Every structure is written in structure tokens, then in C-alpha cells.
Structure 1
């Protein structure tokens, strides 16, 4: 099907040839674009020059000093709740930050970071109480989350210096977005466009925990009269863990090329590569946190049998992602938007365990008497090696026809994914070293088979057809939109371990209507209403397979028999005002069925994702944000949210029914808020933000919770005069999490009840301890940046 679409695209291109931009036309277009960018309060500038001069600000980092709130409140006009950050904010944060930490001050967003630099994907995120697996994440128009667990792989897609904007739709996802999990909203990230001028950027940063980071970007500028321009960047980062032993290394490459056509069409190509290696940070239970605090870590020295040794808990997730968005304009109001995409992920996640030579099983079959090296009394220490590879390709295509007052849209998204995952063992020597973190020297059974916990092959196809009509009247003051999407997901999963169900999977088709309307009361005031639906297939690869205890051969987890999709119906009513003071306020309500709660469980030391069907849920609340355009160089910002999220049903734990109806949903703080203050006079600049997150429950029975907490960050900098080849060099210091020496930042693994609970009917249910993310301590980053 995808080949057919590509052939159709090629045929259309031949029928309607695109014309390259002449030098004179480019000059006119560039002048016109510059005039538009110079207007104060623009939504966002995706074309950030190497040296940008806007409203008197000269910067090598793309800062224009035009976005309200110091870049924390990009002006929005879409008829739904949406917030965003621009280069005015992004460029002043630590260059180590990832997109999930960059949006933590927006209404309703809770970012549960575990390291101060934002370099780890071992973190949590929620929006209106919906966790990160329920939030769609797109990058340059392509899906950029793990296609099975839906975890946003935010640190793999782009370096901070290259991010042009990040938008957060707290409720309704875009109808045309290539997503099938966005019941909790959508995060949209885009790169800055390449500069029209040849040059580059150098960014050097050093900090606490032995942080070292180098970044360089080279710009081609306009290549002759071809209309093509691009950039290529490389970065390297290394640091020690802020708590416990170990650390991280990260290599990253970004490349983006665009071609402007004379008729306003645009072609693009984006490719990124990431190779990060890190040591896990150990998540505590509440009891462990209360007794040991930030000292509950993996051990730094090895003793025989120590499964908590940090050398056994390495993690690596490599990625190559590519997309080539094509926006093609024809005559008579016709346009075509085509986005082919491809992602390739591979890596490993390890954990420590022990193996008994005389009591090992492959599934439910005895592995035989083994003779393991480096064993004592028949027991050896080993690393559980969980290796995986995921390949996904797809094509999102839609056409638009603007005729009179209407804009019609017809589209289709198709993707195909092939994933394999296996979990074997690697023996540790008497010093705790393993020969290969990728499991190249595995343990074999007495019968010559590789000893594994699972051997999974996962195939998935997604096809989504969508159509919408947008009608505008009263000189475009009134906008009405209605759309419909039919999303179809097919999954086939095989598990080759003896005793496991060989073939599982499911097929789903979900109708997803949307409706929105907005009215511009004045040029500066807008009211809007939207109603939407969204769905999410169950996450986590282990949801679909049986797993066994390697020491006993007994099944410790069977594949889920309840694979119903999570489905939400939501409504939002909002108001916006733009001007010297910008304000956005909204009420929201939605109801969910088959709410899928993502959690983390440990199997032989390896952190794995699990999905729990918590039944129905009702979410209601209000959110608010306000900001000021730069006034006497100052620009303040404030945001807040009230949330009331409750479970609609009692919970069946497989044996008894727990009385959870009416309980507050997990990961749903009642109040969240943020304050920000930015200053920028063209030379001195700084940004201060303070974030508050209310307490949030970690169990369905509401018998354990994360306490509320505050965090505060400060950035200060000075732009130096040009010297030699340098253009707008600057010094910047970022102080992260000032005054907080470690705290519980969020829930990693939820449970039904932490304490003994009474089920409906009187039965006693023993408690199971949740585990938590530990927020980072203080960190400082000193950086030097210059254009050239």
C-alpha cells in the first residue's frame, strides 16, 4: 500500500511540476519572512538564523525576545487547549535538557525527572493525570515514542540547540497526527529550520557530577540557486550519576535539509542518530526511601551474590529515525502533505540475578544440570540481558482543498512495525564483570538451547483513515470544524518459550469523531469549544505473552485476557486574550473506559513495563496561564491547574474485588502550578522558574502517596561582543533544582494497595509496595556558546 502511495505522489509531482526559487524571488521571500518575524508576540519562529536580530536582540542561539512569558507562552489560535514553548525559553535552559523537562512549567504537566541534566528517559510524565504512555508524541510530523510501550523517547530525537518549538495539547490530539495512544493529549516537537546563511554554532558545557558536553552545528546556508539549505550537528555528553555509582555517555547527530519551491511548496529531510549508555538509578519503595533516602542506590563494589551491583544494571537504547515531510501546493486551493517516516531502535536493559545450577527452567521445561563458571556451592551471579530491536516504517498522507469558506481534508496513515525481544543470562565473574552487556556469551541449557525468559516476535500494522471539514465565516471570526477518524490496529505476537501460549494478538477498529468551534470576539479575544475522542491499545510487550520463573518453571505472569482498548470522550471550553498581557483559561471534562495504567515491574532485576486495566475514570478540572510581553526587559509567567480525577469502578485483582470506585486516580495531583520571570536587555539575560506539584496517590486504594514538592531553576547569562570569527558569543550558567536535595518526584510502579486492604465481601488483601522516581539534587551547568 505504501508503494502505491509513493507512486501516486510521484505521478502528481510530474503532473504539477514544482518550480525552484530564483535568486530574486528568494530575496523577496526572505525579506517578507523577516518582516513577519519582527512582529512582537509571534507564535513561534521555526526559522532560527545562526545570528538572529529581532526587536533589538542579537543572539547566536535563536532568541528573539518576542514570545510572551520569556518563551513560556507561545500565542495559540487553534480551537482547543494548547500551550507551547519557543526558542526564547528553550535556549536559556541547560543544553542537557530534554523536551519533557522543557515543558514542565506548562499547565497540567508533571515531569518526574530523576537526573538534574534531563539526559535520562528513565523518568515519568503526566498531563491531567494521564501518564506518558497515554500521551502522543510527534517529532517533525512522525511518531516518536516507543511504538509498543508508548514511552516518549524524548532524549533521542534532537539536541536542545536544534529544537525550534514544543507544543502541548493537554486534551485533544490532532486528527491528522500519526498516533494511536493519545488519550491524554499530544506533544509536538519541531526542529528549527536551517539558516539561509552559511556558518555554525559551538556550544560547550561543563558542570557538577563531572558533566562534560560538546556540541557543534554546521550550516550550509543557501546552496547556490537550488533552494536547498541544511545543517548537520554532533554532540557528545558524559556525566556521573548524581546519586549512586555509574553514569552516562551519549553520542548524538541531527541533520535537517529543506528545499523551498517558488509556489510556496516545501520539501524536507530530517535524520537523527543517538547512542546513549547509562547505569540505572535505583527506584525505592516508600519504606526504603524513609530509611535510606537518596542513599538507596545500587552498590559500587561487588561481593559475590550481590545482584544490586551497578555493573549489572546497564542500559542502552540506540536509535536512527528519519522523516521526509513534503508540503506541496497546487492551484485552485489544492495542497498535498506527505510524510514518510522510519525508525530503528535497538539496545539492551540489564539487571542482576542469581542462578542455581540444579534448578533452572526454560519456560516450564527443566534446563538440566548445568556447570556454570564463577559459581560457589552451585550458585552463580548473573546479569539478566534483555535485548530488543524495533523497526517501524510508515506514511502519513493527506490532501486539502480550500474552496470558498470551506477547507476539506482527506487523509490516511499507515505504519508497519516488526519487533523482536529476548531475555537471556550472562554470568558475572568474581569481580562482578560480565563478558558482554548485549549477551554474546549466554548461558545454555544442558540440551544446547539458549536459556531465556522470553523470546518474542511482535508484528503490528496501523491504518487510519480520516476526513474533516473546516468552515469559516464573518471574515474568519467564526471557525467550525468537524472530523472523523477510523483507526485500525492489528497485532500478532509469538512467544517461543516452552509452555507459553505460542500465538496471541488482537485486531481493533475504533471510530474517533472530533468537533470544534471558535469565535474571535475581538482581534485579541477568542472563545472556543471542542469535543473529541481518542483511544489507546494496551502497552507493554509483556502484556501479550506468558512469562515463567526461571528458578521454578512456574508461570509468574500470564498474557492478558482483557485487551480492550482505552477510549476517552472529552470536552473543553476555553478563552484566550492576547496583547501586552496574554491570558488563556479553560475548563475540561472527559470520561474514559478501560483506563490503561502503565507501571514498572522487575523481573530478575530487569525493569519492564506492565499495563493494568483500571476500568472507567472521570476527569474534570480547570487550567490557567498568563504572561506579559517583554516590558522594560521583564516578562513574567504564571500557570496553574485544578484536577479532580476519580475511578468509576471497583477493581478486580484476579481473585477479589477491591472497593476503588470513587477513589482518586493515581498520578493525579489536585493542584499544580508554576511561576516564571524572564529578563533580557540584549546583553544580560536570565530566567527564574518555580514549579509546584501537589501530592499524588500511588495505589488504587489511596493508601500511599507522593508528598507535594517545589522545585526552582535559575539561568543567568551575558552576551559578549563579537571577537574574531565568533558571532554573538555568550556565557550562561544554569542552576538546577536549587535548595532541594532529593525528593520523590513521581510514581514509577503503581499497585492496588500498599497496606493490607479489605475487599468487598470481607477478604483481606495483602499490600504490595509501589516504587518511586527520586527527583534530583542540585546541579550547576556553565556554558559557552558562539555562532561562527
Structure 2
């Protein structure tokens, strides 16, 4: 996934502690950070996301939870791919057991691929190229995301760049709420669900954990974690990882360095303070997303041009052709980014019946994505866009270019390719505070607030490169700019946004007896975006605008659960969500002098059943979502891009999962997803015709949303005798539409994976050494795995009348990586 214009990546690593909890217990002596038993605490563990929806459980409900969880712990639910749940809505959790068996460089998008309702894919199995995911027809920008309770979706675009978030050795568990986020979640863009994961707690015993991996495409990964053990009431860990790999198609490398850390100060049995740091630095290149036509013509392993045409001493048409061809050179399609987050988490018992959780955080991110442009040489003192008093073709001269795109006088072209760098700089402080008060055995009240005020600047700046090799003078473009005569750096756009978010929430939980649980809550979210946007700043063609927009909504949610016994439960949940319009939509609408700031809204309803038996456990859920005002790009009559909406969508389907422990060491897990995401009504793409580049009204009524497979099936067969383990997995995905009019689709595909490992006994000072092998795409299958860029219409119908012209463009797709392996050795030193 790329950082592009108006959606530059603001990936967020984040702070700690999701949910309200008791202080850490002394029994949590393992760095794997597994869940404590529910019988050992009243509510969810502070460093676990599992069952966070019951953080406000009553004392009676806590006993119900204890019985159900103890029943589930006697099972091996899908080798960690399934967990016991008690919330009155759809929710699934991946546990530490499954994370330990995955490839160690995997990011969270790869971990959640088996969860029902989720469609996940990645450009590279190393986990170093981010990832792509959707859920029940909602794309990733419609899904909330937290790490340890703090939000990590981009403040402007709601994108999530998974590579930035920690190492798998530090992940505790990952929970997905497929439709209805919790009332207390710090989300401003979660129309369609929520994902959260937590880091492990420091161990009570000191030592060093070490992991070394090698794999296909020269993949190399080194991970080291220092555990201090108990230093009085404080214990900590800090980790470092170095990750590199060659890209599996085309030229280029992926290089990521990460530093994570966590400390816990146990003040007493009822009070604790934690501190967390996460840092990531990427110096990557990008994968090119291809159209079907490009893949057919250029081959499955094409990824930008792998050769550079030297510009030295070229002139006229030869220089013009070389400069424009070199725009697609792989060395200019960069993806550098760095981010860090520091956070603290206070868990305090204010009274016998009241517990307070306070999570302040601060996140910083800087970086973006590279590309290319073509500038012309000029000695003029006028600030003309993409003209510069620089020798761009390396001939030792600066000639005034008089090339005109209309006249095509190629012989008078003097210039060359320049480095285009779209970047974003974000400062993001915030705080989440919530309290739980028991109003007796049968009633509990949770209430609190979330406040955040972020600042984000975005720009697309041009820089110089070597005309002989195509290498940018500055990979991160902190210097060596293409300058106007006045000395200002040349930019395509320059934007600044301040976003202020205020949210208050309250939830009441009532359990009148041992069978029934009733939940009702409401939140109020008030969001303000202010700022300014400039196109071609400092040039003679500059345009600019200011904006000051706000949105606010009251968001109710309710749920009912019937706990028949410790094996059977039924539930019904419903909730309203809304999504503050993205920076992209606001800025483009402001530049087009439009105000189409309708927020996305959804009503999501789940009806489900769960069974936890002695050898078989299962869950089944049917759902329906009414989804309004999905934002999509369109064009005015003048060809100016702005944002329109998909007015209404109906989304419904079935999610289910099952775990069967048919022998003491053997487990089968399977999940199934059926999704029907239909557009209701036509999409107004903006009036226009073939000459002005605008759109018309697209007849989309009854069409299926792009990038939404109707059927997804997962199955895994696992063996684990505590020393040897192995798992064979399979996944079936049905076809995907690439455009809103459903005129282009790519076929479904099936993939298989295999993983196995051996846990050795202690070798003196080497504790718990192990070796494991992970193989992806066993059958070496080739397929389009997801839709990267969906269009309204893939191509103009043959014989269409000019008066009925609709703008068309070919959709772009991600590609499934061929068979690849990762071999890992790990151990601890104590």
C-alpha cells in the first residue's frame, strides 16, 4: 500500500492498555503475555484485547465470564485462531499461540486473514510492504484501529500502514469487531468495525530473547529483546529488529528498523502505571499495482521500469521521450517513513466500586512516497511551475526551453526528470480516560471521554536527481530541492490541517440474573477540521483555499445476550457509527469550491450464537448494515477532482467459525464468510462530457461493491504435542469486481500454506530454543489478490453515444506473491 497525494501515511504506533483492568498479577511471568484466567480477575487483563467489550461487566457477569472462559481454556481453539467470546455482538480474537507460529516478520494484516468477515492480502509475505484488508464490504479506511487502546488510523485519510506497528514477538493478541465498535473506542472514522491489538507485558525474570530469520528473496531478519525482570516494583523490556528483503518483482529493496519498549510499575495490587515507546524507520521502495492489461503485456513480475535512460547531452525529442519514460523508473518510487509514539497508562482504584483508566499519548510521523515529474530549463525570473534555472539534462548548459505541449515543438525541449516526493508531517497528542463504577452486583456503569488535537502538513515537493543514473540527490528530500528563481522549493501542493476530536461516552451493563445481559450506551463525537490548501504554491498559477468544517453525531449502541449455560449463548447487538470526512475529501471539495461534507454513517446489526463444547466450539453470526454516504472521487464539468458519495448501500451476510479438537494433539479450524454488498441507487459522478473530462451519472443501482468477494473460506489442520507442531492451511477467495459498474472482474483463487516447528529442551544457558519453517503459497499460484484502485467504470462501452459519455479508467490490482519460505531460529538467554 502506498502513500499518495492527500493520503500520505501517518501510520501510528501507539500506547498502551486497552480496557480497564486490575494491576498485573505475579502469575504473568512469561514474555508471551498470555491471558490470565477470568477467575483470577474481575475484568479483562490490561494488556489483552480479548473480551474488551466486557470491560464494564457487572460482578454477576464476571462470574458468567469466568465459567465460560475456564470451559474454553480446556480446549485448543484452532491453534489460537479462535477464542472464547462473551460480547453481545460479533467479535473474534487471534491469540498469542497463533502469533508465535506465524512468520516472525508478519504484520497484523497477515495475522487476521483467517478471521470471519475479513478479507486480507499483502504485496509481500515478509510483512515489510504494509498490507490490504477490508471487512464485510467496508474498506480499511472505514475500520477503526488501536494498539494498546490508542488510535493508529491516519488522522486525515484513515489509512493504516501495518509495517510500522511493532514486531510479532511483542504482540499479545489481536481482536476484530466485525461491525460494531465499542462505545469507548477512540475512533473518528470507524463506519464498519474495529481492530485492536496489544503488546505483551514485561516478564518478571530478566534475560535476552533472540530471533534470526532467513528466507526467499534474500530475506534477513534479526530480533533482540532485553528483559530487565523485576527491578523492585518496575519491570521492563526493550527490543530492536533489523529487517531487509529484495522485492520479489522488479528491482528494489525493503528495509525496516524497529525499536519497541514497555515498562510496568506496579504501585500496589490496585494501582499501576505503564510506559510504552514504539519507533519505526522504513527506507523502502514501492510495489507497482497493475491493471489487467499491464500484467498481460509486461508480465506477472513487472514492477516499474528497471532501466534508466541517461539524460546526459540529450536534446529535443530524444530528451523529451527519455525524460517522460524515466518517470516510471523504479528508483524514484520510494517509500521512506519514520514514526514514534510515547505513551503512559495509569490504572487506578479510586474506591471499592470505581476504577479509573487514563491513557495519554503522543505520536509523531514524517515521510511519504516518491515518484517523478518532468521540468524544463529556464533562465526566466518568473516563478513558472516546473521551470527551473538548473541544468536538468547534464549537458553543462541551461537552455531556455520553448517546448509547448500544444504545438509539440520537440526540438526546443530542454529539461529532464525530477524527483517528486509526496510527504506528510504529523503531531498527534491525545488522551483517553474512562471509569467503571459498580452499582451493585447486577449493574455497572462505564463513562469517560477522548480528546485529541492533531496537526498535519502535507506537500508534494520536487527535488533534483542525477541525470546519468536517476538516483535522487536526497532519498528523504530534506534538501536538494528544485527551486524557483525566488528561492522557494517547487511544489505541486501544500496543505495544513488541524483536527480536534472530542468524544464523551457512557455505557450501562445490567445482568438481572445468571442468564440475561443487557447493554445500552451512547457516545457523542464532535469533530472540527480547519486549515488551508495551496495548489502550485509560490508559482504564477497558484490557487488556494481555507476551510473550517465541523461534524457531530449522537451514536447509540445496544446489545442483549442470553447465556443458556456455560456452553451456549445467544446475542443480538446493534449500533450506529459515523466517519468524519477525510482530509482528501475536504481539501479537494474546498479547492473545487464545493461543500459536500456529508459524513459516512452506518447502522450495523448482529444476530448470533456461540457454542463452546468439550471438543467442538463454534460461532455463527448473521448481520445487516445500512451504509450511507460512502465518499468517492469524481469530477466537475471543468475536470476538477472532488468527492461525491455513494448514497446508500445494503450489506448483509454470514460469518462463522468452528474449531474441532478431534484427537488430543490434533485440531481443525475453519471459518466462512458470505458477503452481499449492494449499491442502492445511482452515483452522481459530476456532470460532464468527453471533451471536458467530467463524469456523468453512473447506473450503479444493484451493483456489487468493488473489492468485495462474495465467498471466503479458510481451513487449517494443526498438530501440536508441546515439542513438535505443524499446520497446513488453505484459503479460497471468490472473484472481485474492479469497478462500481461491475464491468471488470478478476477471478477467485485458492492458496495453501504450511508451517512447522520444533521446540528443543534447554541447552545450558540457552533457554527454550526452537526452529520453525513458514511456507506461503505452496502451489506457486498466480492471481490478482485485491483491488488497489477501483474505478467507476473500467472501460467505455463499444458504440456509446458521446452524449452518454462516462469517464472510464482501468482498475489496478495487487498481485499474489509466488511461493516463498522463511526459516527461523530463536532462543532466550538467562
Indicate yes or no: 2:473 matched with 1:435.
yes
What corresponds to 1:752 in structure 2?
792
Q: Which residue of 1 aligns with 2:627?
A: 592
The CA deviation at 1:687 is: 1.7
1:275 alignment partner in structure 2: 281
Tell whether the 8 Å contact from 1:586 to 1:622 is kept in structure 2 after alignment. Answer: yes
TM-score by length of 2: 0.83
Distance 1:182-1:67 versus aligned 2 partners, 3 A rule = farther
Relative to structure 1, the CA distance from residue 619 to residue 777 in structure 2 (aligned partners, 3 Å threshold; closer, same or farther) is same
**Taking structure 1 as reference, are residues 261 and 352 closer, same or farther at Cα in structure 2, changes over 3 Å only?**
same
Shift of 1:323: 2.3
- Residue 325 of structure 1, CA deviation: 2.0
Unpaired stretches in structure 2, ≥5 consecutive residues: 1-20, 49-72, 311-322, 396-412, 635-640, 688-695
Q: Give deviations 1:1-33, integer Å, cap 9, x for gaps.
A: xxxxxxxxxxxxxxxxx9999xxxx768989x9
Instruction: Point out the more displaced range, 298-307 or 344-353.
Output: 298-307
Task: Provide the C-alpha distance between the structure 1 equivalents of 2:593 and 2:364, rounded to a whole number of angstroms.
Answer: 26
Partner of 1:561: 595
- Equivalent residue for 1:734, pick from 760, 774, 778: 774
Name the structure 2 match of 1:581. 616
Secondary structure (helix, strand or coil) at the match of 1:282 reads coil
Cα deviation 1:540-593 (Å, max 9, x = unaligned): 54751489xxxxxxxxx8476312110001111010011221110011001011
User: Aligned residue for 1:500?
Assistant: 543
Q: Distance in 1 between matches of 2:748 and 2:490?
A: 45
SS in structure 2 at match of 1:76: coil
Aligned to 1:771: 812
Post-superposition shift, 1:629? 4.4
Question: What is the CA–CA distance in structure 2 between the aligned matches of 1:102 and 1:167, rounded to whole Å?
Answer: 10
Partner secondary structure for residue 268 of structure 2: coil
- TM-superposed CA distance for 1:707, in Å, is 1.6
Write the distance in 2 (CA, Å) between the matches of 1:265 and 1:245.
53
In the superposition, relative to structure 1, how do residues 362 and 614 fare at CA in structure 2: closer, same or farther (>3 Å)?
Answer: farther
| 1:309 corresponds to | 329
1:59 corresponds to: none
Question: Would the aligned equivalents of 1:674 and 1:691 in 2 still touch at CA under 8 Å?
Answer: yes
CA drift of 1:290 comes to 2.3
- Secondary structure at the residue paired with 1:776? coil
In the other structure, the counterpart of 1:183 is 191
2:34–2:96 Cα contact (<8 Å) kept: no
Does structure 2 conserve the Cα–Cα contact (< 8 Å) formed by 1:627 and 1:637? yes
The alpha-carbon deviation at position 162 of structure 1 amounts to 0.7
Partner of 1:527: 570
Q: Name 1:606's counterpart in structure 2.
A: none
SS at 1:290's partner residue?
helix
- Range with greater deviation from structure 2 (169-178 or 659-668): 659-668
For residues 761 and 340 of structure 1, do their structure 2 counterparts lie closer, same or farther at Cα, with a shift above 3 Å needed? same
Query: How far off is 1:259 after superposition?
Result: 2.5
Using a 3 Å threshold, how does the CA distance of structure 1 residues 36 and 615 change in structure 2: closer, same or farther?
A: closer
Question: Which residue of 1 is the match for residue 582 of structure 2?
Answer: 539
Match status 1:374 vs 2:374: no
How far apart are 1:361 and its partner, in Å? 13
State how far apart, in whole Å, the 1-side matches of 2:270 and 2:439 are.
Answer: 18
1:66 touches 1:88 (CA, 8 Å); kept in 2?
no
Aligned counterpart for 1:328 among listed residues 348, 370, 373: 348
Tell me whether 767-776 or 201-210 shows the greater mean CA deviation: 767-776
State the distance in 2 between where 1:506 and 1:662 align. Answer: 33
Q: Is the 8 A contact 1:380 1:427 kept in 2?
A: no
Matches of residues 105-144 of structure 1 in structure 2 within 5 Å?
105-121=114-130, 123-144=131-152
Distance 1:265 1:729, change over 3 A: same
**2:742 aligned to which of 702, 717, 722:** 702
Is the 1:170–1:186 Cα contact (8 Å) retained in structure 2? yes
Counterpart secondary structure, 2:808: coil
Matches within 5 A, 1:84-103: 84-103=93-112
Q: Deviations over 1:187-238 (max 9, x none)?
A: 01001111111123111000110011000111111212x2x21211110011
Aligned to 1:621: 653
Q: Is the counterpart of residue 196 in structure 1 residue 204 in structure 2? A: yes
**Separation in structure 2 between the aligned mates of residue 539 and residue 19 of structure 1, nearest angstrom:** 37
**Given that residues 44 and 74 in structure 1 are in contact (C-alpha distance below 8 angstroms), is that contact kept between their aligned partners in structure 2?**
no
Equivalent in the alignment of 1:647? 679
- C-alpha contact (below 8 Å) 1:140/1:323 kept by paired residues: no
> 2:375, 2:387 within 8 Å by CA — same for their partners in 1?
no
Shift of 1:689: 1.5
| 1:383 match: secondary structure | strand
For residue 231 of structure 2, give the secondary structure of its aligned residue in structure 1. Answer: coil
1:118: Cα distance to partner? Answer: 1.8
Q: 1:280 to 1:761 in 2, by over 3 A?
A: closer
Contact (CA 8 Å) 1:360, 1:367: kept in 2 or not? no
- C-alpha deviation, 1:501, in angstroms: 3.1
Residue 289 in 1 paired to residue 292 in 2? no
- Of 558-567 and 514-523, more deviation after overlay is shown by 558-567
Name the SS of the counterpart of 2:299 in structure 1: helix
Match of 2:436 in 1: 400
Residue of structure 1 in register with 2:248 after alignment: 242
In 2: Cα distance, 1:610 partner to 1:722 partner: 62
Per-residue deviation at 1:373?
2.9
Q: C-alpha distance in 2, partners of 1:368/1:135?
A: 42
The alignment's C-alpha RMSD in Å is 3.0
Structure 1 residues 759 and 474, CA gap change in structure 2 (3 angstroms): farther
How far apart in 2 are the matches of 1:170 and 1:362? 55
Q: Aligned pair in 2 of structure 1 residues 215, 361: CA closer, same or farther (>3 Å)? A: farther
Is 2:827 the partner of 1:786? yes
Could you tell me which residue of structure 2 aligns to residue 424 of structure 1? 461
Following the alignment from structure 2 to structure 1, what is the Cα–Cα distance between the partners of residues 751 and 703? 28
Answering whether residue 284 of structure 2 is matched by residue 264 of structure 1, we say no
Name the CA distance, whole Å, in 2 between partners of 1:153 and 1:113.
Answer: 11
Give the 3 Å change call, closer, same or farther, for CA 45–447 of structure 1 in structure 2: closer
The 5-angstrom pairing of residues 676-715 of structure 1 reads: 676-715=716-755
Query: Contact 2:76 / 2:667 at 8 angstroms: preserved in 1?
Result: no
Q: What is the rounded CA distance, in whole Å, between the counterparts of 2:85 and 2:331 in structure 1?
A: 48
Match of 2:510 in 1: 471
Q: Counterpart of 2:511 in 1: which secondary structure?
A: strand
For 1:215 and 1:726, locate their aligned partners in 2 and report how far apart those are by CA, in whole Å. 16
Tell me how far 1:252 sits from its aligned partner: 0.3
Deviation string 1:441-487 (CA, Å, 9 cap, x unpaired) is: 11112333321111111111000111111111213x21101111111
